[in-house]
């Protein structure tokens, strides 16, 4: 076990060979109280470190909420960093700059972490040495009082991809000397190795932004008065090293698990999500770990929103380098305390530059009522299905909506008034759920928008999933082509089977049964990839190859019979059905998952053939995007009749 831990540490941060020293931690009253309550020392220390040493109550709350945390006794320490943070008028100006730049130009990488100057690289410190580390910072700040010029001289620097305020060289050397002495103090008191920041010291204003936004950002940056009165705080932060490269999500709505593999959600909590762990999650769900409990599980994607990594950081010490007053750590997570701001250079390489939906579906200029300029060009539209029942109402919706005799009834207005009859059990809906009423509305809106743009669909192909067939049906209704165009059910368009829970594929309703329920299906269609060829838990390469093969055969089949094909399938289909027909190589599975997660219900993209070359390119869709958000259930009795 010790060898494995040593290997893990070596991968995370370089370590110097040195003789071991006895622990320098002073068992203060807070730790003593926790020990007297019966908590093991390792857990008590972990609780104190994870809450910033705030007080006994905070540590107890953390321990009680993490009682089932499988990593509660994990010896891996947290990771620390020392920043200079501005306060006063300069901080207010920087906050104003980020608010304006974000609203005018959108978010860029500088917004991932609050405004700061990096003084050292991230380093690790055992829980038992954190008190000594905090003392090392206080000791260093005390020695350097009055030796650092105020205000710090800052000069604006701009390039095509970066804007920043750089510290004047002579003063920067003073700050680097301060960081070096902190490193020495930490070595002596806490036995940790710290690398002072050796690059030019600066506050990042903007990074990785669009080139056409440079003029706006530069104008806003020039309005910052760097000479305005400001204090600077030397702040020691920590983060959980296990989640350093995870995406951070914030819980917006409460959720109670309906299955053993699901995670309970509490508003305000944070979720750490790794793209490589998403293979266990079905469409509309993500797999993540709760900051508040340490537990991991599946959760509905529309119950969370993206947050910044620094929102989960913990403050361990905050001291003014100019004034005599110092601030001790608040012990709170940084969320709610720190502002959005620039990212430090030491993290730039660790942040994944994930593909976005804007790269898949470029910004568009939508024709309102004019006919298409090139009607003879062959076009392929790929669309994700509408809002699904199990994501909105949880996986328990079936038990709520069927009586003992198997008769369906709805318990919410967003549930359809009736469902297609299945020859099997209603449990088949577990893996083949319908869309909601709002999902039907979404689909009709897309169809109506296509009608307004004078778009005519010649062929519609759908995944065998009921949610996709229903979506295609309502798109055609909105397009007023539901009686003219028959839907062809193509099993080869089903999503990556690895995302299906269990070892069996869904039991889909046969096209003949759906046609008997007044769904306009082409019952004579012979699939290019029959259900019998689908395998459970297929590899990523198999799924990508299947999607490409089926799309190519569909386009070949329709070549001489119409110019526009619509595929209604899954979020993954927008990438899997369009990338290789453009002559591009498939993405790796990690980047693929990142793209898929960003595609909303009724996400829509368009491809156009270049002449008759057989090579396609993504183009502006003929319709506007459809934006929508979550809306939790409202119970008037519980909310309005509280005493």
559 as an active site residue: the answer is: no
Residue 125 and residue 79: Cα distance in Å, rounded?
7
Single out the catalytic residue among 197, 246, 384, 597.
Answer: 384
Dihedral (CA of 26, 29, 30, 31) sign: positive
Supply 114's token pair: 């609050």
Single out the catalytic residue among 246, 379, 385, 422.
Answer: 385
Place of tokens 């009795």: 637
Burial of 244 (0-12, 13-18, 19+ CB in 10 A): middle
Contacts of 189 (CB under 8 A, 6+ apart): 24, 132, 133, 135, 136, 139
Supply 3's token pair: 């060898």
384 as an active site residue: the answer is: yes
* Secondary structure, 3-state, 532-549: HHCCCCCCHHHHHHHHHH
Residue 307 and residue 107: Cα distance in Å, rounded?
12
Tell me the helix, strand and coil percentages in the chain, rounded to 5.
Answer: 35, 20, 45
Residue 478 and residue 496: Cα distance in Å, rounded?
29
* Coil, strand or helix at 95: helix
Residue 21's CB is within 10 A of a number of other CB atoms, namely: 10
Residue 559 and residue 380: Cα distance in Å, rounded?
11
* Coil, strand or helix at 420: coil
Single out the catalytic residue among 246, 319, 422, 570.
Answer: 570
Distance of CA 498 to CAs 136, 248, 283, 298, 637, Å? 51, 24, 11, 15, 42
Supply 125's token pair: 């410190």
Residue 168 and residue 170: Cα distance in Å, rounded?
6
147 assigned binding-site residue: no
Residue 152 and residue 481: Cα distance in Å, rounded?
67
246 as an active site residue: the answer is: no
Return binding residues for substrate.
Answer: 467
**Enzyme catalytic residues:** 384-385, 570
């Amino acid at each position: 076990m010790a060898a494995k831990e040593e290997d893990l540490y070596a991968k995370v941060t370089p370590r110097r060979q040195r003789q071991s020293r006895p622990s320098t931690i002073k068992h203060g009253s807070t730790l003593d109280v926790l020990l007297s309550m019966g908590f093991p020392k390792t857990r008590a220390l972990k609780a104190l470190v994870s809450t910033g040493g705030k007080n006994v109550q905070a540590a107890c709350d953390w321990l009680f909420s993490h009682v089932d945390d499988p990593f509660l006794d994990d010896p891996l320490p947290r990771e620390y960093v020392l920043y200079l943070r501005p306060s006063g008028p300069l901080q207010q100006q920087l906050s104003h700059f980020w608010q304006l730049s974000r609203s005018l130009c959108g978010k860029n990488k500088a917004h991932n972490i609050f405004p700061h100057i990096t003084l050292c690289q991230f380093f690790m410190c055992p829980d038992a040495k954190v008190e000594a580390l905090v003392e090392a910072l206080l000791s260093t700040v005390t020695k350097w009082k009055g030796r650092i010029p105020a205000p710090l001289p800052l000069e604006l620097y701009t390039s095509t991809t970066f804007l920043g305020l750089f510290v004047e060289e002579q003063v920067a050397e003073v700050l680097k000397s301060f960081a070096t002495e902190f490193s020495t103090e930490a070595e002596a008191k806490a036995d940790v190795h710290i690398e002072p920041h050796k690059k030019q010291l600066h506050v990042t204003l903007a990074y990785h932004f669009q080139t056409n936004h440079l003029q706006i950002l530069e104008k806003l940056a020039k309005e910052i008065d760097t000479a305005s009165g400001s204090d600077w705080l030397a702040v020691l932060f920590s983060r959980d090293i296990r989640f350093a490269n995870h995406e951070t999500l914030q819980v917006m709505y409460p959720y109670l698990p309906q299955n053993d593999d699901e995670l309970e959600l509490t508003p305000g909590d944070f979720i750490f999500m790794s793209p490589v762990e998403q293979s266990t999650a079905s469409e509309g769900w993500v797999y993540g770990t709760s900051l508040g409990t340490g537990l991991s599980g599946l959760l509905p994607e529309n119950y969370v929103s993206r947050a910044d990594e620094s929102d989960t950081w913990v403050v361990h010490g905050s001291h003014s380098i100019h004034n005599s007053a110092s601030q001790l750590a608040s012990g709170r997570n940084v969320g709610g305390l720190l502002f959005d701001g620039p990212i430090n250079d030491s993290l730039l390489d660790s942040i994944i530059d994930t593909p976005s939906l804007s790269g898949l579906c470029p910004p568009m200029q939508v024709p309102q009522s004019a006919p298409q300029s090139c009607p003879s060009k062959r076009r392929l539209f790929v669309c994700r299905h509408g809002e699904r029942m199990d994501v909105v109402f949880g996986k328990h919706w079936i038990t709520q909506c069927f009586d003992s005799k198997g008769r369906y009834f709805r318990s919410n207005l967003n549930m359809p008034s009736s469902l297609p009859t299945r020859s099997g059990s209603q449990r088949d809906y577990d893996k083949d759920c319908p869309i909601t009423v709002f999902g039907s509305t979404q689909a009709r809106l897309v169809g109506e928008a296509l009608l307004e743009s004078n778009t005519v669909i010649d062929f519609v192909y759908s995944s065998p999933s009921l949610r996709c067939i229903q979506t295609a049906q309502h798109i055609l209704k909105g397009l007023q082509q539901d009686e003219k165009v028959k839907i062809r059910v193509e099993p080869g368009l089903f999503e990556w089977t690895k995302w299906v829970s269990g070892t069996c594929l869904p039991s889909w309703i046969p096209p003949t049964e759906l046609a008997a329920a007044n769904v306009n299906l082409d019952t004579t269609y012979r699939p290019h990839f029959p259900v019998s060829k689908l395998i459970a838990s297929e590899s990523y390469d198999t799924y990508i190859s299947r999607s490409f093969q089926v799309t190519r055969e569909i386009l070949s089949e329709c070549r001489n019979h119409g110019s526009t094909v619509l595929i209604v399938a899954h979020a993954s289909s927008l990438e899997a059905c369009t990338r290789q027909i453009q002559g591009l190589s498939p993405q790796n599975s990690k980047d693929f998952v990142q793209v898929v997660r960003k595609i909303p219900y009724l996400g829509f993209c368009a491809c156009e053939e270049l002449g008759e070359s057989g090579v396609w390119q993504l183009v502006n869709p003929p319709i506007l995007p459809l934006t929508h958000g979550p809306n939790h259930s409202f119970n008037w009795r519980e909310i309005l009749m509280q005493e």
